[in-house]
Structure 1
């Protein structure tokens, strides 16, 4: 895994990687994010415009479970991508970055919907804060590497680690990215930092002004980020779109054991829902949005 990359010869094509950009990975990630985003949106709309209706414990439990899956998968994918940077190509590296943006948007949307649940338990609050920081740090590292690759004009079939190699082979028709690519990458990195700062304020602030407005605007922003990242992934992937690199096989279009396992993992939160319905698992009811009590237990 940590062996130096071969940067002296430019291959005519690269192998596919169903573990990163396979059809099962993309479908399970997008479906989980879609379900979590829709549940978060429904909770925010209910609390904003239908506050007299009974809050849904089931939806809160589901969105929390799916959001936890998303941010942990995002952190794991980015960590493994960096560890294998001497072997994976820019195409797969960029898809990992987009998947991480999708997971961050999903988690931030959940934060908007369930912030009062996280606030009343300092363990949950700081655990979320730590996961958000790790995800941001990894995403910024990815952004810097992508920016450096665009500056040097990386070869599509060479490993990402060859960006830093002095003796890396250079193609005759190598194209360096233009100004628009630079601006887009820098804006994405800066946007992640700004969103992290706002999310930290939203999570840690004891008293907030314009609470409903922040929820609605933030939700629209997270939906926009998630949709943009998902569209970029699907258009670039071999399974659904057209990759910007020549792949030697079509392994990313096939359903394998790992692909099916990823889809089956989506059913795990349903077990908790059955336990709640049967009364075997207790979940604290929602608290009033304007009330902050750091000592009130969750159960």
Structure 2
């Protein structure tokens, strides 16, 4: 008999405490605002590039407005989102002996949101990422780690659906839980809608990872603009779907599928307010760039050499700057 968090997996509590650090109103809102801003920036940059390439102006004229500020912001959001996805899922797995399937699923949805936001930024800034092979492969490894964690989450959730794990038991109990022989409900097997949806989500993550890898590593890409536009629409759809599901399931904005013993997820705690305040940080970067305090390499045009390094050292008066 397995024991988790001081309780047996056979002792089913009537209710579980809320967790504002996972499903609080501030946590969900800060994730949504960050993802929305990043997706809007990605869309504006792709739209600008598409209209510039179709205009009658010369390539040199279309490069006069390189959108350095937006690209700098988007690059920061891209790094943030891939790390947030890995961090969220890692913490969730570490605390799997404490959190229930309700909170575990919300973490997965927020990780899917981070993945979609990062991939949208990848579609926009792919030429910038290709300019340094170290940064490119580091990003590739982070994407692989995020995929591996997402698949592990999918397996946990799939197993909980197949076994009909009680909603108030920790998700880690899924490996030892066996319903009583006289239980009213029997395991649903592989025919339930939730089970099919989980399998489709896992398969979609693998396919998207493969396409993102090809997009990041390929030197010569056909139908570049169509891939950008289509990929952005797909990533936006995934982001909207993931957050809509999270909002409808959360205590703060919707109706949880588990009985919670309190309403702590509706309360604005210090941690949730801090997450909202952190949204102001990108504004500081914008001001620094506009004031010339931070120098940013201009983007490489689509027909340019993406092997050009991000940082170019120049010789000035016999020294390097």
**Pair in the same fold by TM > 0.5:** yes
Q: Quote the Cα distance in structure 2 between the aligned partners of 1:38 and 1:31.
A: 10
1:84 to 87, 95, 98: 95
Q: Quote the Cα distance in structure 1 between the aligned partners of 2:219 and 2:180.
A: 55
1:14 aligns with 2:25: no
Q: Quote the Cα distance in structure 1 between the aligned partners of 2:124 and 2:296.
A: 16
Query: How far did 1:50 drift?
Result: 2.8
Aligned residue pair count = 298
1:111 to 112, 117, 122: 122
Are residues 69 and 296 of structure 1, via their aligned partners in 2, closer, same or farther at CA, if it must alter by over 3 Å?
A: closer
**Structure 1 equivalent of residue 269 of structure 2:** 256
1:41 aligns with 2:43: yes
Q: Quote the Cα distance in structure 1 between the aligned partners of 2:109 and 2:180.
A: 27
SS at match of 1:265: helix
**Structure 2 equivalent of residue 25 of structure 1:** 27
Are residues 171 and 88 of structure 1, via their aligned partners in 2, closer, same or farther at CA, if it must alter by over 3 Å?
A: farther
1:93 aligns with 2:95: no
**Structure 1 equivalent of residue 57 of structure 2:** none
Query: How far did 1:64 drift?
Result: 1.5
**Structure 2 equivalent of residue 198 of structure 1:** 211
Q: Quote the Cα distance in structure 1 between the aligned partners of 2:155 and 2:261.
A: 28
Comparing 6-15 with 49-58, which one deviates more in the overlay? Answer: 49-58
Q: Quote the Cα distance in structure 1 between the aligned partners of 2:199 and 2:224.
A: 30
Query: How far did 1:273 drift?
Result: 1.4
Q: Verify the 8 A CA contact 2:23 2:106 in the aligned structure 1.
A: yes
Scaled by the length of structure 1, the TM-score of the pair is 0.95
Are residues 149 and 209 of structure 1, via their aligned partners in 2, closer, same or farther at CA, if it must alter by over 3 Å?
A: same
Q: Quote the Cα distance in structure 2 between the aligned partners of 1:8 and 1:54.
A: 63
- Return 5+ residue gaps in structure 1 as ranges: none
Q: Verify the 8 A CA contact 2:26 2:268 in the aligned structure 1.
A: yes
- The structure that has the greater radius of gyration is 2
Q: Quote the Cα distance in structure 2 between the aligned partners of 1:119 and 1:174.
A: 53
Superposition RMSD on alpha carbons, in Å? 1.8
Scaled by the length of structure 2, the TM-score of the pair is 0.88
Q: Verify the 8 A CA contact 2:300 2:306 in the aligned structure 1.
A: no
1:239 to 243, 252, 255: 252
| 1:1-299 correspondence to structure 2 within 5 Å | 6-51=8-53, 52=62, 54-166=65-177, 172-174=183-185, 176-177=187-188, 178-298=191-311
